[in-house]
């Protein structure tokens, strides 16, 4: 079952580009019954791994801006450390229902923002005339916090700030944001692993299905309507995030 889940998640990542953490966490919690902190840690490590092939492709094509990436990481890395530690402490303090609410809100809002950007066609806009990349560390600090806490946000929110604050071309935005997301997933996943907030057996089964899924998704992306698939998936993620929020509210009220 877990290998099938890993295959489908990686397939959708390859087809749509939607971040692995955003998709993996609600599936692990809602359908496999994995505790929140464990789901986030497992999702981060899985997300880091499945992003490697795409990152290699963009690096070979020289479609990543390392100057901008440095600014992203200056805020993102401290944020993901803080977010990972905060999640572990909240779970340890018995506040798992509040954590579930926060993760549900994060995933639903992130998916909704990405959906709105896609429907508006923001990716087709001309890049800004002024380079404001020096502001990026202040913007990526809360993004890193969000990734460490819920594993979601690096892809959708990272793309938005690169679109509006840098003059990068669309392909450079994707490549730079992929490297940013992989770095945050690697650091966050490592921290969760060190705190014991991950499931090794589940991770290995996800990877067993995820590797062929990522390859199949990359191949199918050349023939299937990716934009339509992405819209459908983001609507589904808004629903899943809302379900996490609803479950958390019921648990707190009960």
User: Do residues 7 and 209 make contact, with C-beta atoms less than 8 angstroms apart?
Assistant: yes
pLDDT bracket for residue 62 (50, 70, 90): confident
Nearest CA-CA partner of 5 in 198, 203, 148? 203
What average pLDDT does range 215-228 have in this prediction?
74
Predicted confidence at residue 205, as pLDDT, reads 93
Mean pLDDT, to the nearest integer, of 57-82?
92
pLDDT higher than threshold 90 for residue 78: yes
The pLDDT of residue 67 is: 95
**Residue 35 backbone class (left: φ over 0; alpha: ψ -120 to 50; beta: rest):** beta
The CA-based diameter of the chain, rounded to the nearest angstrom, is: 54
CA-CA distance, 66 to 197, in Å (whole number)? 31
Burial group, residue 121, by CB count within 10 angstroms (0-12, 13-18, 19+):
exposed
Task: Tell me what the mean pLDDT of segment 245-254 comes to.
Answer: 83
Question: Rounded CA gap, 231 and 237, in Å?
Answer: 10
Residue 89 vs residue 74, higher pLDDT: 74
Instruction: List the single range of 137-141, 204-208, 225-229 with lowest mean pLDDT.
Output: 225-229
Burial class (CB in 10 A: 0-12, 13-18, 19+), 35: middle
Asked whether the beta carbons of 48 and 214 are under 8 A apart, the reply is: no
pLDDT value of residue 156:
67
pLDDT digits (tens, 9 = 90+) for 101-149: 888 888 888 888 878 877 877 555 555 667 888 999 999 998 898 888 8
* The pair of three-digit structure tokens given for residue 183, joined into one six-digit string: 């770095």
Question: Highest-confidence range of 57-66, 184-193, 213-222, 232-241, by mean pLDDT?
Answer: 184-193
CB 119 within 8 A of CB 56: no
CB atoms within 10 A of CB 196: 11
DSSP state of 122: G
Kindly tell me if the per-residue pLDDT of 91 is higher than 80: no
In this structure, of 30-39, 88-97, 109-118, 165-174, the range with the lowest mean pLDDT score is 88-97
Q: Residues 186, 179: contact at Cβ < 8 Å? A: no
For the chain, strand residue ranges (E) read: none
The residues spanned by each domain of the chain are: 2-30+39-253
CB neighbour class for 253 (10 Å; exposed up to 12, middle 13-18, buried from 19): exposed
DSSP-assigned states of every residue in 224-244: S-HHHHHHHHHHHHHHHHHHH
For 26-49, give the DSSP string.
HHHHHHH---HHHHHHHHHHHHHH
Q: How far apart are CA 120 and CA 51, in angstroms?
A: 26
What mean pLDDT comes out for the span 150-160? 75
pLDDT at 70: 96
Look at residue 129 in the predicted model and tell me its pLDDT: 61
Other CB atoms within 10 A of residue 225 CB: 10
Which of these, 166, 146, 176, 160, lies nearest to 76 by C-alpha position? 146
So what's the pLDDT on residue 63? 85
Each residue's pLDDT tens digit, 4-18 = 988 988 887 777 666
The answer on pLDDT for 65 being more than 70 is: yes
Mean pLDDT of the chain: 83
pLDDT confidence bin for 204, thresholds 50/70/90: very high
Token representation of residue 237:
């993620």
């Amino acid at each position: 079952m877990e290998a099938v889940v890993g295959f489908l998640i990686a397939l959708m990542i390859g087809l749509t580009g939607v971040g692995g953490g955003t998709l993996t966490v609600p599936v692990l919690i809602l359908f496999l019954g994995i505790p929140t902190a464990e789901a986030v840690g497992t999702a981060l490590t899985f997300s880091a791994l499945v992003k490697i092939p795409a990152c290699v492709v963009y690096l070979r094509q020289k479609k990543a801006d390392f100057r901008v990436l440095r600014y992203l990481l200056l805020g993102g890395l401290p944020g993901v450390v803080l977010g990972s530690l905060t999640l572990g402490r909240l779970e340890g303090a018995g506040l798992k229902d509040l954590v579930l609410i926060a993760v549900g809100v994060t995933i639903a809002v992130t998916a909704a923002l990405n959906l709105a950007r896609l429907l508006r066609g923001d990716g087709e806009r001309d890049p800004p005339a002024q380079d404001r990349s020096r502001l990026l560390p202040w913007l990526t600090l809360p993004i890193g916090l969000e990734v460490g806490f819920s594993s979601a946000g690096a892809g959708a929110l990272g793309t938005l700030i690169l679109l509006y604050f840098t003059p990068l071309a669309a392909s450079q935005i994707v490549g730079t944001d992929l490297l940013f997301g992989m770095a945050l997933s690697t650091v966050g996943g490592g921290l969760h692993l060190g705190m014991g907030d991950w499931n090794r057996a589940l991770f290995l089964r996800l990877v067993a299905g995820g590797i062929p899924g990522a390859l199949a998704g990359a191949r199918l992306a050349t023939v299937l309507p990716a934009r339509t698939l992405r819209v459908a998936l983001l609507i589904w993620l808004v629903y899943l995030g809302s379900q996490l929020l609803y479950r958390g509210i019921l648990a707190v009220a009960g």
